[in-house]
């Protein structure tokens, strides 16, 4: 059993509300070209916005051992993302992040999944 939660990641914004790519983008434009070294020009603080990528995931695993003489049988049920939370991933535009199986992580996160197993010990 496990629970994972992460709030939205911070994001720096420009004066018009779009994403700031460089520190100079956070300068408030005035009559002169944006240059934060000009006295009297304001700078928007870093991390004033938030991405839409919070994660909330609850996983559950159930198992029970049954002993029959010298044989032990243990059925197992694993449920991933029990509440089927919508965990959106930010689409990648530059460097793609690959999972261990070679798939690309972007778009929607993992849906609810079930996994059944059986363990025999003798």
Identify the H or E element spanning 56.
strand 55-63
pLDDT of residue 111: 83
Q: pTM score > 0.85 for this model?
A: no
For residue range 69-107, list pLDDT tens digits in order: 999 999 999 999 999 888 776 555 555 555 555 555 555
* Cα–Cα distance measured from residue 78 to residue 114, given in angstroms and rounded to the nearest whole number: 6
Phi, psi (deg, nearest 5) at residue 24: -65, -25
Phi, psi (deg, nearest 5) at residue 16: -90, 0
């Amino acid at each position: 059993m496990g629970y994972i939660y992460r709030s939205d990641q911070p994001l720096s914004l420009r004066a018009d509300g779009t994403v700031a790519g460089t520190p100079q983008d956070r300068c408030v434009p005035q009559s002169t070209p944006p240059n934060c070294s000009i006295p009297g020009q304001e700078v928007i603080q870093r991390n004033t916005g938030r991405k839409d990528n919070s994660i909330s995931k609850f996983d559950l695993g159930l198992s029970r051992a049954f002993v029959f003489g010298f044989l032990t049988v243990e059925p197992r049920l694993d449920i991933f993302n029990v509440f089927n939370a919508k965990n959106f991933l930010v689409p990648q535009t530059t460097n793609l992040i690959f999972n261990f199986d070679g798939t690309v992580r972007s778009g929607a996160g993992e849906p609810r999944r079930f996994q059944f197993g059986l363990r025999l010990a003798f």
